[in-house]
Amino acid sequence: MQNYYHATRKVDFTAATLTQDISADVAIIGGGITGVSAALHLAERGYSVALLEAQDIGWGASGRNGGQALPGFGCSLHKLRQLTGADTTRRLWDMSVEAVDLLHGQIARFGIPADPVRGYLHAALKERQLRDLHDEQEELAALGAPVGRLLQGADLQAKLPSPRYIAALEDDIAGHIHPYNYTLGLARAAQAAGAKLFAKAAVTKVEPGAKIILHAGGHRVTAAYLLVAGGAYLGGLERGLAGYIMPVGTYIMATEPRDDVPSLIPGNEAVGDLNFVLDYFRRSPDNRMLFGGRVSYSTLPPPSLGASMLRRAVRVFPQLRDARVEYLWGGNVDITVNRAPHFGRLADNILFAHGFSGHGVALTGLAGKLAAETIAGQAERFDLFARIPHAKFPGGPALRTPALLLATSWFRLRDLL
């Protein structure tokens, strides 16, 4: 089945074809939100930019995700504070809020038809998750951040009339967008600012040095700086990054337009539950239910995926039992061991940003901006992210996926308890 976002594309954008050797101030590997955001911010600072995407712009996670634009990170604020300390966590949180504001600002600035909506519900299925929501309120209060209402009983049913949840925490900063139109809109803006964006230009080799040389499709791209932003699809191109991220498959379905969908989420918030293998869902502008869930640590789609996804949706909203799955798609996201984003340098002139762990719709745009700041000599904010400690997934290339499957079995089981 087709990707709903591709079927509802509204941005006219065509990338260039790499047909000769070129030079630029900055080369970028990866045409997702991180890459195109960096290209835009660098071009607006006067740098010449060559972005190389192996497929099409927005082909990866940036054009396939759930569209949920959240502050914060894939790990909890409590976990982040353990990793970095209270002061750094506060500054990182503030930048994650900036990331959401940047997203909405860019949509308005460039007139991107990304259907932006504010509002999110963090939904709890069981008592221990209700305690987690109380803890989250306390963490937010300690950061001086807005603390949403904790909804239960009639207040919850008014916002989320589902028998599955016992509570939900309101979040007025977060929300949802059409991620593919957003990615293409940023790409169009970057191109208009002077950046050169190339599709079907897979980089097969990187030669580091004072002048970096990238080999792509029989041509060479020479640059003074490089940003590596391939995410889950980087593969083994950069050995220095191998093992720090793991590609994980995740999947989304869209029903037919339905008259009852507006009543299922009357405030039009995006929703995500607190399970390890979470369900996340929202309304589309044409009143479809967009419902995401399931994961595949082998990156192979599960069997009978459409029927399985619809069953998950019906557990949340029994009214959807007669729904039809009209769109079904998926792709890989890049996760880290600690679920915090992974930023850093492979050399003084080679930066990387990846590992958003399912929390990248907003944060990737900021990552591109911070990379541009760093190349322009203002590295403090990028380096704040680079302080987050990271470890490689255990097991090496051959055993990494089986080890991850074993490690996550407990968390999958805990979802059932």
The verdict on residue 88 lying in a domain is yes
β-bridge mates for residue 205, sequence order: 215
Write down the pLDDT at residue 402. Answer: 52
Write down the pLDDT at residue 406. Answer: 43
The verdict on residue 145 lying in a domain is yes
The verdict on residue 290 lying in a domain is yes
User: pLDDT exceeding 70 applies to what percent of the chain?
Assistant: 94
Write down the pLDDT at residue 302. Answer: 79
Residues 6+ apart with CB under 8 A from 372: 38, 41, 42, 45, 47
Quote the number of domains for the chain.
1
The verdict on residue 299 lying in a domain is yes
Report, as ranges of residue numbers, the positions in the chain whose pLDDT lies below 70.
1, 298-299, 395-417
Write down the pLDDT at residue 310. Answer: 96
The verdict on residue 377 lying in a domain is yes
Pick the closest to residue 265 from 235, 236, 285 (CA basis): 285
Write down the pLDDT at residue 70. Answer: 97
Write down the pLDDT at residue 83. Answer: 96
CA distance 187 to 148: 34
Write down the pLDDT at residue 308. Answer: 93
How far from the centroid of its chain's Cα atoms is residue 348's Cα?
26
The verdict on residue 415 lying in a domain is no
Helices (H), 76-196: 77-84, 86-110, 127-142, 153-159, 179-192
CA distances in angstroms from 346 to 116, 206, 390, listed in the order given: 35, 12, 14
Residues 6+ apart with CB under 8 A from 175: 68, 69, 100, 116, 117, 118, 119, 120, 269, 270
Residues of the domain holding 345 = 4-407
The verdict on residue 263 lying in a domain is yes
**CATH number of the domain encompassing residue 360:** 3.50.50.60
Structure pTM? 0.94
The verdict on residue 123 lying in a domain is yes
